[in-house]
Amino acid sequence: MSRGACREGDRVKVKQWLPGVIGIGAFALIMVAAREHITRRLVEQKYHEAVEFHRALELKVSQVLATHETMETELEQERQRSRDLSDALSETRGELEQTVARLTEENQTVRKLQVRLTAMQQQMDQLQGELAMTLQERQSQESAGGRQVELERIVVSDAALSGFQGRVVSVHRDWGFIVINLGWDAVRIGDTVSIFHDEQLKAKARIDRVQEGMCAATVLPDWETEAVHIDDAVRVL
């Protein structure tokens, strides 16, 4: 075979091989481009997902911050409410202590008044006994003829001349009581009598108890029991 024929055969082989080579390169380029496109799409998708995640995270952080601020506000309100309650409790405790102190004082006063009332009741019982004894003595004197002498003394020296109606027969200065020889025929409970000593007004008293021929009276606050003496003259106002 000549050299020219060999060259012509090589050209034919090259022409047959060249399209195949070109097709493989184009396919490779297409595959590379496809991979790049897919990679770019994946990257873009991941980027968008990252952006969305970032936005969601920012929203969640904002919500957490808002919740935190709300909780701080509520906590401060609760603290203020707790302080107000503590102040109110302290004030109430102070009022309670004052009330307990006043109650203790009142209880002491009640006990003192009870003791005084008992003593006054004993004093009144004593006065009742004195009234009864004086009434018995008067009745005995009247039975023995002493009534005419006493009436003569009262009528001549007091009733007729000075207008006095009775006399003080007992004085109890501790309790401001006096006993007068005037009964329910002369006075009533609530009547006021004037007490004279040597024709001078010494005190005024209010009738509290009355029996036949005797009565008990309390010296009025504006007057002194010390100024009253046994046998002072008494006149009903």
Q: How many C-beta neighbours within 10 Å does residue 182 have?
A: 23
Q: Is the pLDDT of residue 92 over 70?
A: yes
pLDDT at 163: 45
Query: What's the CA gap between 14 and 122, in Å, rounded?
Result: 156
Confidence of residue 162 (pLDDT cuts 50, 70, 90): very low
What is the overall mean pLDDT for the chain?
77
What amino acid is encoded at 169 in this protein? V
Mean pLDDT on 1-26? 56
Orientation of helix 3-143 relative to helix 146-153, angle to 10°: 110
- Residue 191's pLDDT band (cuts 50, 70, 90): very high
Residue 170, burial from CB neighbour count under 10 angstroms (0-12, 13-18, 19+): middle
Residue 22: is its pLDDT beyond 70?
no
Rg (C-alpha) for the chain, rounded Å, is 63
Quick one: which of 169, 163, 159, 164 has its CA closest to 138? 169
Nearest to 179 by CA among 136, 122, 137, 230: 230
Q: How confident is the model at residue 180 (pLDDT cuts 50, 70, 90)?
A: very high
Q: Which two tokens stand for residue 237?
A: 């106002």
Q: Per-residue pLDDT for 84 more than 90?
A: no
- Look up residue 216 and give its amino acid: A
Question: What is the C-alpha separation between 91 and 88, in angstroms, rounded?
Answer: 5
37, 63, 199, 210 from 170: Cα distances, Å? 135, 96, 19, 14
Per the CB < 8 A criterion, the answer to whether 165 and 159 are in contact is yes
- Res 28: pLDDT: 74
pLDDT of residue 42: 85
